[in-house]
Amino acid sequence: MQAISADLTGHGGRLDEAARLYPRAETPWLDLSTGINPHAWNRATPLDVDLRALPERTALRALEATAARYFGVDPARIAAVPGSEIALRLLPALGLPPIASVGPSYATHGQIAAYSLESPAPLAGCALLLANPNNPDGRLIAPEALRQLADRQAAQAGWLVVDEAFADAVPGSSLLPHLGADDPVIVLRSFGKFFGLAGLRLGFVIAPEAILARLRHLLGDWPVSNHAIACGRAAYADRNWITTTLAGLPSRAARLDALLERNGLHATGACPLFRLVETPEAKALFGRLARAGILVRAFADRPNWLRFGLPADDAAFARLDRALHRG
């Protein structure tokens, strides 16, 4: 049985590596490895973006103000970044105490952390880092419980860092409405997951102003592109698209649940953009799907886990169903 390449277990979305490792796979590839919304935000008319000019500070602040309204926070507490991945990797440079990550979670959490925990619990003198909703298992912690955890961290000279990359897809899950301006809490948000435009590389950090000042110093005068500024401003203001998307995601997730269940796989998770399956046949199943040109997410440290993103349409659902049924 072919081993799963480490290049396919660190992150999702590496179709080039999958195609190299499985040269006889069916094509075109169906990528279900990322948890990115397959129905991306799009405008009926193209955005007017001047890529010849450097991004203007007024346009950047307008983007941050638009995102702040969407998140329900003060614009003074938000900074745009070129993806929440970059924000994670910069956390150790922001003057925080040592970082303790709560696993299992997004791979980068463990890479930047000095300590690791198996459950979210207060840890004195540390910046406790967790994802909510969690990736890859979809665990969801109520905002009220996170608020209590933040208070307990603050009482012990600690911080709380919450990676809310998938929170847009789960209304009511965000900690942001429960925070004050000076709470020792940092929240990371991703634009690309929910809006389906991961290649745009846009995210946001919501934090006390002193943290944002350090972050802006590290990123410089042009942290994001003109294209990212224009797309972010338009998408966050598109209430019709947001409302329609939020209404449709649960039914698509339920359809994926049913498809997996009838093929003997029980799916778990509270985030409708992806589902986690635990099975002793995970390695064999990953290989079978890859040979069928379907990439799902495998995990080096959890060999019994596979994560499935949402198929985009009827044809993609049918293709996944056929590939699973062949076993």
Q: Give pLDDT, residue 277.
A: 98
Do 12 and 116 lie in one domain? The reply is no
> Structural domain tally of the chain?
2
Q: Give pLDDT, residue 292.
A: 97
- Amino acid at the residue 252: R
259 close to 320: Cβ distance less than 8 angstroms: yes
Do 227 and 258 lie in one domain? The reply is no
Q: Which residues are bridge partners to 159 per DSSP?
A: 127
Q: Give pLDDT, residue 11.
A: 80
Does the structure show a pLDDT above 90 at 1? no
Q: Which domain holds residue 274?
A: 6-40+240-325
- HEC readout, the chain: CCCCCHHHCCCCCCHHHHHHHCCCCCCCCEECCCCCCCCCCCCCCCCCCCCCCCCCHHHHHHHHHHHHHHHCCCHHHEEEECCHHHHHHHHHHCCCCCEEEECCCCHHHHHHCCEEECCCCCCCCCEEEEECCCCCCCCCCCHHHHHHHHHHHHHCCCEEEEECCCHHHCCCCCCHHHCCCCCCEEEEEECHHHHCCHHHCCEEEECCHHHHHHHHHHHCCCCCCHHHHHHHHHHHCCHHHHHHHHHHHHHHHHHHHHHHHHCCCCEECCCCCEEEEECCCHHHHHHHHHHCCEECEECCCCCCEEEEECCCCHHHHHHHHHHHHCC
Considering only residues 43 and 138, tell me which one the structure prediction assigns the higher pLDDT: 138
Q: Give pLDDT, residue 4.
A: 78
Question: Is residue 85 situated within a structural domain?
Answer: yes
Do 83 and 231 lie in one domain? The reply is yes
Average the pLDDT over 272-281 and give the result: 98
pLDDT per position as a tens digit, 84-121: 999 999 999 999 999 999 999 999 999 999 999 999 99
Q: Give pLDDT, residue 2.
A: 62
Query: Measured between alpha carbons, how far is 244 from 238 in angstroms, rounded to an integer?
Result: 10
Q: Give pLDDT, residue 153.
A: 97
Do 65 and 151 lie in one domain? The reply is yes
**Of the residues 192, 209, 237, the one at which a domain ends:** 237
pTM for this one? 0.96
**Of the residues 201, 220, 237, the one at which a domain ends:** 237
Mean pLDDT of the chain: 96
Q: Give pLDDT, residue 8.
A: 79
Does the structure show a pLDDT above 60 at 315? yes
Q: Give pLDDT, residue 6.
A: 78
Does the structure show a pLDDT above 90 at 73? yes
Do 199 and 92 lie in one domain? The reply is yes
Q: With CA atoms as reference, report the closest residue to 275 among 313, 316, 307.
A: 307
Do 212 and 63 lie in one domain? The reply is yes
Q: Give pLDDT, residue 10.
A: 74
**Of the residues 219, 237, 255, the one at which a domain ends:** 237
User: Token digits for 73?
Assistant: 């926070």
pLDDT per position as a tens digit, 281-303: 999 999 999 999 999 999 988 99
pLDDT per position as a tens digit, 17-72: 999 999 999 999 999 999 999 999 998 888 999 999 999 999 999 999 999 999 99
pLDDT per position as a tens digit, 214-262: 999 999 999 999 999 999 999 999 999 999 999 999 999 999 999 999 9
Do 197 and 293 lie in one domain? The reply is no
pLDDT band at 327, cuts 50/70/90?
low
